[in-house]
Every structure is written in structure tokens, then in C-alpha cells.
Copies of this chain bind each other. A is one copy, B any other.
Amino acid sequence: MMLTLEQLAQQCDAEIPANQSSVKINAAADIMIATSNQVTVLSSRKYLKYLTDTQASACFVNRDMCIEEAPENLVFLYCKDPEISFLNAVHALHPRVEYNRSISKQSVIAENVTMGKNINIGAFSTIEQNSKIGDDTEIYASVNIGRNVSIGKNCTLYPNVVIYDNTVIGSNVTIHSGAIIAADGFGYKYRNNEHLKVPHVGNVLIADNVEIGANTCIDRGALGSTTIGAGSKIDNLVQLGHNNQVGRNVIICGQSGVSGSCTIGDGVVLAGGSAIADHVNIGQQAVIMARSGVAGDIEAGSQVFGLPAKDKKVVWRELAALSKLPQLFKKFKVLENRISKLER
């Protein structure tokens, strides 16, 4: 999409010098690689070094950013929140291509499925009995939706998503390919040399505005529900076990795992590859740092690291001490000798 700087400034809440309003922009790009007729963004002083040589035609920047040197041809788009203005510029310059929606004749939809308006169902998708699809929801090819599933409005399910029976999904939810929602949780009782399966008759509830990454698994509750709160975002290859209660606006990064029956407070961040043992409560806004393994409750607002995870400052102090430990052993020997000498 080609836009003039004037159009871009308008759409992205920015100001430009009037004499530059007709400059043409056709793409958004990172500051290191942007070229002519592209717009970029300078959101942090650490990228200032790239400004001098950028080939971009325009750059979103906050007026408070102190800029000493910039290419002559570069036009600044002054704005309050350069990151968000740039994000809107990406939307405006690279609009999502909309295709005609239809119900593929090669899909299999049970007779009593309730279908809203303006829905897309891709080829080779199946929807079982008593399920319900809201208006404007787009289901790609090869998606399998079980029985008694409810999906809200304006959702997107990419190819190969599987939704087991009785799942309830809100509106504006995006689920990426290969995600498996509401498979049985992992629970057994060992008796007489055999693992007896704990039946899983619960379900999964996903609130509005949730995004779920590719190949992520969210298990159904054993008796009740596994729930994901509104606005939470879950990355790829994440494992969420049975009966977890995930709050609102939670961020769960790739390859993280939450065992089961945990409570994850609103606004919590699970950084990449972190993991939570079962029956653990994570307080609101807590940050579980990358690759950490949490074994017990975590206080709201705290930042923890390590295995088992502890307050990050405590862990860093321990790791700093550990790095000097081999040396300490040598110093200890010296001390012993000095004492032996004194004792003689």
C-alpha cells in the first residue's frame, strides 16, 4: 500500500513539516535496513547509532528525543508514542489481505451446528454436533472442532487447530496452527501395578482477546475448567496442564509449562522456557524469568529466577559468589597454612 506522509501522519497520530506532506511511503522497516520510501521508528536511544546512516525516508520519533545528526532527506514524524504510531503505520502500509469468505463444500459440519454471519470454514475442516460459531469468525483448512464447542465472534483459527468437546472460546481469539485445546489432562492413580487413568470430564474456557501460539497444548480440567483470562497471550509450544486458572493479560512465552491446578495472577509474565510446579500460586504482575523452574508460591510483583526459582537479586548474588568459589578454596588453603604457622 502506498501512502503519502500526510496520510500516514494522520492515521498514526503524528506531525510532519507541511512541505513534506506529499512524500510517498510504501513500507515499514527496521531502522538498520530501511530504504528509500520506507518509514522506520526510533523508539530508544540505543538505536540512535543507526540513525545517521539510515536510508529511510521517514522516521517516527518522540519530540523529546534529542537528535544531533540525521540524514538530510529523512523526515521526522513527531508523535507521543513512536512504538504505537509505528505499529499503526505497519497496519496501514501492510494491510491484511481479506479474501472472500465461504463455507467450503469440502468441510463436514454437523447438522445442528449454529453458524453466525460472515464466517469462513476452510476445506477439510470438521465441526461436530451442537457446536456454535460466532459472526465474522474465520476457520482455516483442516481445523477440527468437537461437540458442544462454543466459539465467539471475530475469531481466527489457523489450519490444523484441534478443539476437543465442550470448549468455550470468547470473541477476538486467535489460535495458531497445531494448537490442541482441551485434550485430557495427565493424571493417573497407581494401583496393582497399573496406572489407572483419572477421567477428565471438565473443559477449557478461553476468554476474549486471547492469542494462542502454534503447537501449544491446553488441557481440559479433570472435573472443572482450565481457564485463560481475557487479553492473555500465549506463545508457541507452551504446555498448560489441567485445572490451571490463568488470569487476565498474562504473557506466557514459548516452551513454558504450567503443570496443573495453578493460579497465575493478572499481568504475570512467564518468560521463555519457564515452568511452574503444580498447585502453585503466582501473584499478580510477578515475572518468572527465562528458563526458571518455580516450585512454590510467588509473591505478587516479584521477579524470580533459577531452579528452584528465587528472588532474582538473591540468585544473582549467589551466582556471583559461586563464580568466586574456586578462588575461595585457594585462599582458604593459604589461611590454613598461616594458622598452622601461628600454632607452631
Q: Are A188 and B84 in contact (CB under 8 A)?
A: no
Q: Are A178 and B180 in contact (CB under 8 A)?
A: yes
Q: Are B183 and A213 in contact (CB under 8 A)?
A: yes
Nearest Cβ distance between residue A195 and chain B, in whole angstroms? Answer: 5
Select the stretch in A18-26, A67-75, A321-329 that faces chain B.
A321-329
Q: Are B193 and A183 in contact (CB under 8 A)?
A: no
A138 CB-CB contact with B under 8 Å: no
Q: Are B291 and A196 in contact (CB under 8 A)?
A: no
Task: Please give the number of chain A residues whose Cβ is less than 8 angstroms from any Cβ of chain B in the complex.
Answer: 104
* CB < 8 Å neighbour of A293 from B290, B323, B336: B290
Q: Are B159 and A144 in contact (CB under 8 A)?
A: yes
Q: Are A195 and B321 in contact (CB under 8 A)?
A: no
Q: Are B126 and A201 in contact (CB under 8 A)?
A: no
A118 CB-CB contact with B under 8 Å: no
A273 CB-CB contact with B under 8 Å: yes
A106 CB-CB contact with B under 8 Å: yes
Q: Are B257 and A257 in contact (CB under 8 A)?
A: no
Q: Are B259 and A254 in contact (CB under 8 A)?
A: yes
Interface centre among A84, A236, A308 (most CB of B within 10 A): A236
Q: Are A81 and B342 in contact (CB under 8 A)?
A: no
Q: Are B28 and A186 in contact (CB under 8 A)?
A: no
Bound Cα distance A91, B332 (Å): 60
Indicate with 1 or 0, residue by residue over A167-198, a CB within 8 angstroms of chain B CB atoms.
00000000011101001101011110111111
Q: Are A272 and B257 in contact (CB under 8 A)?
A: yes
**B-side contacts of A215, CB under 8 Å:** 178, 180, 215, 217, 237
Q: Are B239 and A254 in contact (CB under 8 A)?
A: yes
**B-side contacts of A159, CB under 8 Å:** 126, 144, 162
Residues of A within 8 A of B (CB): 28-30, 33, 81, 83-84, 87, 90-91, 94, 96-97, 104, 106, 108, 122-124, 126, 140-142, 144, 147, 158-160, 162, 164, 176-178, 180, 183-184, 186, 188-191, 193-199, 201, 209, 211, 213-215, 217, 219, 223-224, 231, 233, 235-237, 239, 241, 249, 251, 253-255, 257, 259, 272-273, 275, 277, 290-291, 293, 295, 306-308, 314, 317-326, 328-329, 331-332, 335-336, 338-339, 342-343
A sample of 25 cross-chain residue pairs with beta-carbon separation below 8 angstroms, ordered by A number, consists of A87-B189, A87-B198, A90-B199, A123-B126, A124-B126, A124-B142, A126-B142, A142-B144, A144-B159, A158-B164, A158-B183, A160-B178, A176-B184, A180-B236, A183-B236, A188-B251, A214-B219, A235-B239, A254-B259, A257-B273, A277-B290, A290-B293, A328-B328, A332-B332, A342-B343
